[in-house]
Amino acid sequence: MNIETHQLKNTRIAEVIAPGVLIRKADEGIDLLGNLYYQQYDCIILYEKNLNPAFFDLSTGMAGELLQKFSNYNMKLAIVGDFSKYESESLQDFMSESNKGGKINFAGTTAEALNILSAN
C-alpha cells in the first residue's frame, strides 16, 4: 500500500493506492482511517477495487459501519470506481444520497474525487 499526498487549497488528501483488496472488513478500514487521521489528513480517496465486495451489499452492514466512523472523525471520503455494475437500486440510492451530503462521495475518476474533496 502507498499513500500519495495531494495538497489542494488548504486540504490535505491521502490517496490510498494498493494492487488488490485492502479492506476486507470494517475494522481494517477503521484502522486505516485512524492512522491517516493522526497523520493530519483532511480527506481520503479509496478505490472500489480495494474494498471487499461485501461493502457494496448494504445488507452486510459493512458500508454503514465504516462510513459512520468517517462521519464520527469528520473525515471526508471519496470512493473512486465504476459503480454501474451494481444493480441494487438501494445501493444506487445510497450512493446518490451520500454524494449530496458532501462527506462521503462516490466518484468515477480520481480527478473528480480530488475536485470534490478540495471544494470548500
- Residue 120 CA to residue 117 CA, distance in Å, equals 8
Question: Which H or E run includes 14?
Answer: strand 11-17
Q: Would you give the distance in Å from CA 113 to the centre of its chain?
A: 10
Q: What is the pLDDT of residues 54-65, one digit of tens each?
A: 999 999 999 999
> 2-85+93-118 has which fold?
Transcription Regulator spoIIAA (3.30.750)
Q: For residue range 38-57, what is the model confidence (pLDDT) as tens digits?
A: 999 999 999 999 999 999 99
Ordered by start, the domain boundaries in the chain are: 2-85+93-118
pLDDT of amino acid 117:
95
Going by their DSSP bridges, the two strands 2-8 and 11-17 should be labelled as antiparallel
For the entire predicted model, the pTM comes to 0.95
